[in-house]
């Protein structure tokens, strides 16, 4: 009887789902449920054992019909992004937060967003005796620290074989016939397949089936040696001959194995027909510039947000590159532990029958549900959930997903040069987007 009364009481009260984050944990957030948002926030900020310097703040709050069911559905849908199976702690960045929010807003039990007024805590300035030497004293600049952080945190993502295979199988085999394939981003080759790059391994296994002329792979002499290849950079070559094939591994003096090493650039410009690899994310801007200028065919993995990021927008606007077929979220780090990062395949090979174009909902503006369309402070239309207004003549803002689903192949164009669009609603900046317009 007591349980039934508690359930009846809960149903009569308003129910909320929230996403909250601690000020000292910027890579995580918690999804929870409550009947009282203000009281719940106070409970977080008055926890025993929590430092007074740690402040909890809501990232998103909304009213729902059945908070327990919504919380369970979030857990099922984003199970791979939970810190552990037994907690409601999820990995966080701005793109992931957008995914969480979009899922909640599209849930059948969603009622409305709730806006909680946050009173910022008083800032207390502490005077601490200086004990750590300055950057100048250590002979470093901020750029040095950033590059070091990027090389450790961002670049150590290694692609799984199944993800390489899944994408390449989408393309006509004839594009590879009698071609020289170049894998130029630490694509090591070893007699032990466990110490071989997934890209190199795929092309070695399928060398005859794809009728390749030559495969060239490079090993990078960086700080992290995932493939146990030693500190020396090398160039691996596998070439088709009348007797089958020949393999050669060379260690040129002074060669670094980096994609922008003079020797790597020489191979790219003079030998390669197709480039296929996963470039380091922290140097993706440089890599893309080199690839576009080389005018070579390519199939590469890069961050999912590239189409709405300033450095890459013009490539998509000018039809120099477009999304491939598949999204890839799962990688390995230098310890060969599974990690997640949102990426997508990009290419300049023509695509046929893009399956994800079915996700686009191109309909008249009036028929787009109200919750998926709004106007920002500058009166620019914003549409979500891959809705596209078929009868709207002015520029409007979209997220990255319609670009990945092929909207630029459906009679629409990007209208801004080198600029992403950051809408403001009631003076508050929202998620980055890009402006497109019907041609």
Q: Are residues 334 and 199 in the same domain?
A: yes
Comparison of pLDDT for 28 and 416, the residue scoring more: 28
Is 423 contained in some domain? yes
Proportion of the chain above pLDDT 90, given as a percent = 55
CA distances from 259 to 187, 233, 295, 358, 432 (A): 11, 12, 16, 36, 30
Comparison of pLDDT for 126 and 104, the residue scoring more: 104
Q: Are residues 348 and 364 in the same domain?
A: no
Q: Are residues 364 and 348 in the same domain?
A: no
Is 145 contained in some domain? no
Mean pLDDT across 416-428? 83
b or e along 168-185 (b: 16 or more beta carbons within 10 Å of the residue's beta carbon)? bebbeeeebeebbbbbbb
Q: Are residues 278 and 240 in the same domain?
A: yes
Q: Are residues 180 and 305 in the same domain?
A: yes
Report the alpha-carbon distance of residue 167 to residue 324 in Å, rounded.
8
Report the candidate in 327, 301, 304, 330 with the shortest Cα–Cα distance to residue 79.
Answer: 330
pLDDT digits (tens, 9 = 90+) for 227-282: 666 678 888 898 877 667 788 999 999 999 999 999 999 999 999 999 999 998 88
Mean pLDDT across 285-298? 97
Confidence of residue 223 (pLDDT cuts 50, 70, 90): low
Q: Pick the last residue of a domain from 46, 81, 113.
A: 113
- Work out the mean pLDDT of the chain and round it to a whole number: 84
Q: What is the pLDDT of residue 149?
A: 37
Is 97 contained in some domain? yes
Is 136 contained in some domain? no
Report the candidate in 301, 304, 219 with the shortest Cα–Cα distance to residue 263.
Answer: 219
Mean pLDDT across 69-84? 83
Q: Are residues 74 and 25 in the same domain?
A: yes
Comparison of pLDDT for 118 and 383, the residue scoring more: 383
Say how many domains are in the chain.
Answer: 3
pLDDT digits (tens, 9 = 90+) for 4-35: 544 545 557 899 999 999 888 877 889 999 99
Q: Which 8-state DSSP code applies to residue 433? A: B
Mean pLDDT across 327-335? 86
Q: Are residues 338 and 377 in the same domain?
A: no
Mean pLDDT across 410-431? 86
Q: Are residues 348 and 367 in the same domain?
A: no
Q: Are residues 50 and 197 in the same domain?
A: no
Is 318 contained in some domain? yes
Report the candidate in 420, 425, 422 with the shortest Cα–Cα distance to residue 377.
Answer: 425
Q: What is the pLDDT of residue 93?
A: 75
Q: Are residues 339 and 397 in the same domain?
A: no
Is 41 contained in some domain? yes
Confidence of residue 117 (pLDDT cuts 50, 70, 90): low
CATH of the domain at 60: 3.40.1440
Q: Pick the last residue of a domain from 296, 327, 352.
A: 352
**Whether residue 387 has pLDDT greater than 50:** yes
- Dmax (CA) for the chain in angstroms is 83
Q: What is the pLDDT of residue 204?
A: 92
Q: Pick the last residue of a domain from 352, 379, 413.
A: 352
Confidence of residue 118 (pLDDT cuts 50, 70, 90): low
Is 123 contained in some domain? no
Report the alpha-carbon distance of residue 133 to residue 137 in Å, rounded.
6
Q: What is the pLDDT of residue 85?
A: 67
Q: Say what the pTM is.
A: 0.65
Q: What is the pLDDT of residue 173?
A: 94
* 232 and 251 Cβ atoms separated by less than 8 Å: yes
Tell me how crowded residue 208 is: count the other CB atoms within 10 A of its CB. Answer: 10
Report the alpha-carbon distance of residue 181 to residue 217 in Å, rounded.
8
Q: Are residues 229 and 326 in the same domain?
A: yes
Mean pLDDT across 52-81? 88
pLDDT digits (tens, 9 = 90+) for 333-360: 777 788 888 999 999 999 988 888 999 9
Mean pLDDT across 86-92? 79
Is 120 contained in some domain? no
Proportion of the chain above pLDDT 70, given as a percent = 82
Tell me how crowded residue 191 is: count the other CB atoms within 10 A of its CB. Answer: 6
Q: What is the pLDDT of residue 151?
A: 41
Q: Are residues 267 and 194 in the same domain?
A: yes
pLDDT digits (tens, 9 = 90+) for 119-171: 544 444 444 444 444 444 444 444 443 444 344 344 557 899 999 999 999 99
Structural domain including 393 reads: 359-438
Judging by beta carbons within 10 Å of its beta carbon (0-12, 13-18, 19+), is residue 97 exposed, middle or buried?
A: middle
């Amino acid at each position: 009887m007591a349980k039934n009364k508690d359930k009846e009481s809960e149903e009569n009260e308003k129910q909320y789902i929230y996403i909250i984050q601690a000020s000292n944990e910027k890579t995580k957030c918690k999804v929870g449920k409550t009947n009282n948002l203000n009281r719940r926030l106070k409970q977080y900020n008055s926890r025993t054992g929590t430092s007074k310097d740690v402040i909890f703040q809501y990232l998103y709050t909304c009213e729902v019909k059945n908070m327990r069911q919504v919380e369970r559905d979030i857990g099922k849908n984003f199970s791979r992004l939970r810190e552990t199976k037994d907690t409601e702690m999820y990995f966080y960045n701005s793109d992931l937060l957008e995914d969480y929010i979009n899922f909640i807003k599209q849930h059948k039990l969603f009622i409305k967003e709730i806006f909680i007024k946050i009173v910022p805590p008083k800032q207390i300035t502490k005077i601490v005796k200086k004990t750590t030497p300055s950057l100048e004293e250590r002979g470093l600049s901020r750029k040095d620290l950033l590059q070091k952080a990027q090389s450790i945190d961002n670049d150590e993502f290694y692609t799984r074989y199944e993800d390489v295979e899944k994408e390449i199988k989408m393309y006509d085999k004839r594009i590879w016939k009698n071609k020289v394939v170049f894998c130029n981003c630490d694509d090591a080759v070893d007699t032990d397949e466990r110490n071989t790059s997934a890209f190199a391994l795929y092309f070695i296994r399928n060398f005859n089936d794809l009728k390749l002329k030559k495969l060239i792979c490079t090993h990078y002499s960086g700080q992290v040696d995932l493939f146990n290849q030693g500190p020396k950079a090398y160039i691996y070559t596998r070439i088709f001959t009348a007797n089958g094939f020949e393999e050669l591994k060379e260690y040129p003096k002074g060669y670094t194995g980096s994609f922008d090493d003079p020797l790597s650039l020489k191979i790219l410009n003079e030998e390669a027909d197709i480039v296929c690899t996963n470039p380091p994310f922290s140097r993706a801007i440089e890599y893309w510039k080199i690839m576009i200028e080389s005018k070579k065919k390519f199939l590469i993995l890069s961050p999912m947000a590239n189409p709405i990021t300033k450095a890459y927008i013009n490539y998509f606007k000018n039809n120099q590159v477009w999304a491939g077929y598949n999204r890839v979220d799962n990688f390995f780090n230098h310890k060969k532990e599974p990690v997640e990062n949102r990426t997508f395949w990009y290419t300049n090979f023509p695509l046929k029958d893009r399956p994800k174009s079915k996700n686009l909902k191109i309909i008249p503006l009036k028929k787009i549900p109200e919750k998926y369309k709004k106007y920002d402070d500058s009166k620019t239309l914003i549409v979500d959930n891959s809705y596209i207004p078929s009868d709207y003549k002015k520029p409007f803002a979209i997220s990255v997903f319609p670009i990945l689903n092929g909207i630029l192949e459906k009679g629409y164009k990007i209208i801004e040069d080198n600029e992403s669009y950051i809408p403001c609603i009631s003076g508050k900046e929202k998620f980055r987007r890009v402006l497109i317009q019907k041609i």
